[in-house]
Structure 1
Amino acid sequence: MTIKVFSQLLSDLGDQSLYVLDPAISKSDYIALDLSKTNKTLDTIDVSSSETLEQYIHSHIIKNNAKVAYGGYLETRNIYQRSSYFKDTNPETERNIHLGLDLWVAVETPIFTPLDAEVHSFKNNTNHGDYGPTIILKHIIEDFQFYTLYGHLSVASIEHLKLGQAFKKGEQIATLGDSSVNGDYAPHLHFQMIKDVQDYVGDYPGVCSKLDLEFYKGNCLDPELLLRLNSINT
């Protein structure tokens, strides 16, 4: 299936009511958040501190009378430079381009699958700046198979999971973790769509380099195709 056809399939799915957070949270309660390196406000805060970044995000949510901040697909970010897992002195190979959608919301927030699914894999990715507990779900739509990844979860979310476990659309799959388990970030969900998960198990790159961007843009399409959040701020 070509990228164009896959994009259209996801876009058609997005015409339905799909969500990964509580559907009782109105779309009007979401606010876009810019964490790119072009946001000069971030130059004035210590983004290496999960507590400081959480305060900044919480203030942004409160100031906009919102409940959830979202964004980040293909954002080039400086916040990963704090971690040796990402940092690289070569700007072409430094992994700093974000491949998923982040939903910044309170710890222990329930997470739901937007589509019928089964568990492909799960893992606690414990590197500093990594996902922490992570679930990858497999979906089959019109005989086409693809995957969604959920990162920065609570440890309890993966304690009793089983490979191949089935979930129905809208069923809760997890809760969010805090900075002590989620890679040392402010609480948020990293949600990513993946065409081909390759040989990864419980993990898949969520941040890439400029050198690898074209491949990952084709393999990890914009979650906006499913969740339709940008329409609320336009």
Structure 2
Amino acid sequence: MARSPHAASPRYQQLADALLRDIENGKYRIGAMLPPELELCEQHGVSRHTVREAIRRLVDMGLLGRRQGVGTHVKARSGRGRFVASLGSIADLFQYTQRTRMKLIDERPVTADDKLAELLHCKPQQTWLKFETCRYPLGKPVPLCHMEIYVVPAYGAIRDEIEGDGVWVYGLVEKHYGEHIVEVQQEVGTAATSPRIAGLLHCKPHAPALHVTRYYYGRGERLLSVSVNLYPDNRFRFATRWRLEWDQ
């Protein structure tokens, strides 16, 4: 059976979270050196690969820096004023949602006109259930992003659980209907915030924003849901790494 993204978070993420707490709590102050890799391995009972991946994520967040021949030091107690997500898999996407809170703004059925059908990769006149939400970093009063989530009407039961901490809409679909997400396609662009959405996001009208559309597919390439996300400038950053495999 395929491993669900709802399983316990990967060891590297658990270690990254633990080190992040230590930095925020002052155990490791700005300028201080982190313990060597082997020492962290022994302290946390993990492999060197796990330690390296956890540190890489904190480097991506701007919390840690590396000095050649010296080691890893603390650069900041918070990640560059932005929410940072290292997204390389569906499981990573799930872990990102666990650090956020969802607030429901509106919910209603919509019929796709030509413009919406093009966005949703569907036929005109197809009916969707639309949830308008804002997602917040846990414990923070300012929204991270504005979201428009479209799901097929048959999944309407998720409406009762769509608001709260760590909500993952596609996890709710799996929970209530046993429908597994097997593929996510993501398109990234830019947009300007409308006056209404700017009010919800606490930013200036027409401010630049990151526009991210995600398409969630089930078995048989069935489109189950689409999310349209708008992140105001300087409030969110993606961190991605690609590794090239060369023939030896």
TM-score for the superposition, normalised by structure 1: 0.32
Quick check: which one's helix share is greater?
2
TM-score for the superposition, normalised by structure 2: 0.30
Structure whose CA Rg is larger = 2
Quick check: which one's strand share is greater?
2
The one of the two structures with greater contact order (alpha-carbon pairs below 8 A, sep at least 6) is 1
